[in-house]
């Protein structure tokens, strides 16, 4: 079993293995290339993201700077908007649905290290050789989600569709669809309902109106 296959199996793997270091080096170089572009260089940016990510949906945009750890393990849907300083440590797969908005400094992490200090650096691999090992859990974020500034999404979390995650939250557990959740650790505050519609805030509309469904 390759080290990448071990990641997807959810078992311990060696992040320093040559095959994984090569994947990460490619991603980190493409991150740097993207971060050196100007915002108007749309074709250059699109080319970089096509080589960096597993998929990047039509109409999506990332402000930059960015930092993807593997890149190819991240799959982003249509019409995604990612604000400044998006960081995705995608050892395991990261899946983001359509029509999601991320505020500045959103971080998604998937790897998990052993809790005991000696186990972080004194494991043995399947051949008995000394190994530094960790494991990883995938992250899934549904469609039509808004993650506020400085949100951290932890390994193994699933966020359902149409959720709003408040700024500064640390999401350590699953969040059901249609929820407003916030805090450290993040918890569901209440459901999102039609009472949250902007039609109930006429003082903010300023001439805007809702499109017909």
Residues marked active site are found at 113
In degrees and rounded to multiples of 5, residue 8 shows phi and psi of: -70, -20
179-182 and 187-191: which strand pairing?
Answer: antiparallel
68, 107 contact by CB (below 8 A): no
The two structure tokens encoding residue 128 = 């008995």
Cα–Cα distance measured from residue 133 to residue 172, given in angstroms and rounded to the nearest whole number: 22
The two structure tokens encoding residue 34 = 């993207």
Q: Please name which of 52, 51, 53, 43 lies closest in space to residue 76, comparing C-alpha atoms.
A: 53
């Amino acid at each position: 079993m390759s080290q990448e296959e071990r990641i997807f199996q959810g078992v311990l793997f060696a992040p320093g293995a040559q095959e994984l270091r090569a994947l990460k080096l490619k991603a980190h170089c493409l991150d740097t290339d993207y971060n050196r572009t100007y915002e108007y260089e749309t074709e250059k940016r699109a080319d970089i993201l096509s080589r960096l990510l597993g998929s990047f949906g039509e109409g999506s945009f990332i402000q930059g700077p960015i930092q993807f750890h593997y890149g190819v393990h991240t799959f982003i849907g249509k019409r995604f908007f990612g604000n400044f300083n998006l960081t995705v440590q995608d050892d395991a797969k990261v899946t983001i649905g359509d029509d999601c908005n991320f505020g500045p400094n959103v971080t998604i992490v998937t790897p998990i290290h052993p809790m005991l200090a000696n186990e972080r650096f004194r494991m043995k691999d399947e051949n008995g050789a000394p190994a530094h090992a960790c494991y990883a859990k995938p992250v899934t974020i549904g469609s039509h989600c808004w993650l506020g500034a400085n949100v951290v999404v932890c390994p193994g979390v699933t966020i359902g569709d149409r959720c709003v995650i408040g700024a500064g939250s640390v999401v350590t557990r699953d969040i059901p669809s249609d929820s407003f959740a916030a805090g450290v650790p993040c918890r569901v505050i209440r459901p999102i309902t039609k009472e949250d519609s902007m039609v109930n805030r006429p003082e903010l509309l300023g001439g805007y109106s809702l499109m017909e469904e």
